[in-house]
Amino acid sequence: MPGRPQANRRVALVTGAARRVGRSIALHLADAGYDVAFTYLSSLTEARSLERQIRSRRRQVVAIRADLTDPSVAVQTIRQVFADFSPRLDVLVNNASLYEPDATAEKQLEQMRRFWAIHVESPLLLCRAMSSKLRAARGHVINMVDSLTERPLPRYMGYCASKGGMRTLTLGLARELAPRVTVNGISPGVVMWPEQTPQRIRRQYLRRVPLARAGTPQDVARTVLFLCEHGGYITGQILRLDGGARAGVN
């Protein structure tokens, strides 16, 4: 069983944190002094590894298995496990995501519902379930949006549209949870190349990036921490994190 955080120690909850960007966020917050709760679904080995890494930093941690494409069940599970872990919540990062090309016509509606559930419904329900803790801590919500909401990819319409819903949700929650909670979004470009991305496609993308490199998960994690530590007067904003790739694009 996980230990309980000390009363004066800040606590973060990161969804979808066993791998990739979410893992970097969880570790960066632990390094900054936060105890961490995080969710995972199928990546049990990675989740156990992340628990060990966070404990090695002398932070308390709990891993919560939750399927955020089933919002009501997932949020109930998270709420119950978190209640045993900590009485407070300072930071909520809605990072869990589903990224895949559009399904065939026969499966398109089912897929759209899963996209909407993980990118809109679960973040909304989780924010409302945790709102009293966040308000008590004068906390921060960070939603991981996507720069593709500004230039949707063909064959990824379902994903892009649901991330667009998350963008709108961020703006609405910023008003709903004000004045005690800030709510912002981070809209990354490429911060971790999908597996098997051809070098030709990588070079083509980087030609559009003024800073001449792809981002990294650490870039995202540092931005999350900035919003938590120094973003007390920033809310309702979608922060582009793309090396300038969208600068000047009509």
Asked if residues 37 and 87 have their Cβ atoms less than 8 Å apart, the reply is: no
Give 73's contacts (C-beta < 8 A, 6+ positions apart). Answer: 66, 67
In whole angstroms, give the CA distance from residue 49 to residue 66.
Answer: 17
Domain locations in the chain?
Answer: 11-241
Q: Which is higher by pLDDT, 194 or 235?
A: 235
What pLDDT does residue 202 have?
A: 92
- pLDDT band, residue 7 (cuts 50/70/90): low
Q: How many CB atoms lie within 10 A of CB 149?
A: 20
d(CA 115, CA 162): 6
Gyration radius (Cα) of the chain, Å:
18
Coil, helix or strand for 216?
coil
Q: What is the pLDDT of residue 249?
A: 47
Beta strands at 91-94 and 11-14: parallel, antiparallel or unpaired:
parallel
Q: Residue 250: what pLDDT?
A: 36
Cα separation, 76 vs 46, whole angstroms: 23
Lowest mean pLDDT segment, chosen from 18-22, 146-150, 225-229? 146-150
What one-character-per-residue DSSP string does 24-90 give?
HHHHHHHHTT-EEEEEESS-HHHHHHHHHHHHHTT--EEEEE--TTSHHHHHHHHHHHHHHH-S---
- pLDDT of amino acid 151: 87
Instruction: Give the pLDDT score at 126.
Output: 98
The rounded percent of the chain whose pLDDT value lies above 70 is 96
**For domain 11-241, is the CATH number 3.40.50.720?**
yes
Confidence of residue 193 (pLDDT cuts 50, 70, 90): confident
On whether the pTM is more than 0.85, the answer is yes
CA angle (41, 71, 52) in 5-degree steps: 30
Is 159 a residue of the active site? yes
Instruction: Output the average pLDDT for the chain.
Output: 94
Residue of 156, 159, 205, 233 marked catalytic: 159
Residue with tokens 């593709």: 148
pLDDT at 4: 64
